[in-house]
Amino acid sequence: MSGKHQERDVYAAVADPTRRKLLRLLADAEELPLYELTAQFQMGRTAVSKHLAVLKEAGLVVDRKVGRETRFRLNAAPLKEIKDWIAFYEKFWTERVSVLKKMLEEE
């Protein structure tokens, strides 16, 4: 799991509805240029750029220059914490149920 600071950044980054929408748009496409992303919002390209910058800082979005335009794509790795939760609960229930088994066998 990543360090606490980066996690906080990730949570702050996805706490905003515009940024969540950006992540969803990027999740559906391989790569999108800024103007295509901007077209999905009421706000202008400067505002969308600012949101993308926050996502980039959190490591959720990667960008690259192609000619004059900047293209963005999703980097979902920081969200892998959900997988950690699954692993956690697998262990949790296995251990809890083994406690229960002991209880029932001792009765």
Partner 1 sequence: MAEVLLDFQFASSINKVWDALTDPDTLAKWVMENDFKPVVGHKCQFRNDEWNLVVECEVLVVEEPNRLSYTWIGGPIDTVVTWTLTEESGTTRLHLEQTGFEKEDQAYNGAKYGWAGKVGELKKVLGESQE
Write out the residues near partner 1 by the rule CB under 8 A: 1, 4, 7-8, 10-12, 14-15, 20, 24, 79, 81-86, 88-97, 99-101, 103-105
20, amino acid identity? R
Lookup result for tokens 């088994």? 101
Query: What minimum distance in Å lies between the beta carbon of 16 and partner 1?
Result: 9
Query: What minimum distance in Å lies between the beta carbon of 43 and partner 1?
Result: 20
CA 55 – CA 38 distance, rounded (Å): 15
Query: What minimum distance in Å lies between the beta carbon of 2 and partner 1?
Result: 9
DSSP 18-71: HHHHHHHHHHHSS-EEHHHHHTTSSS-HHHHHHHHHHHHHTTSEEEEEETTEEE
Query: What minimum distance in Å lies between the beta carbon of 20 and partner 1?
Result: 7
Which lies closer to partner 1 via its Cβ, residue 68 or residue 107? Answer: 107
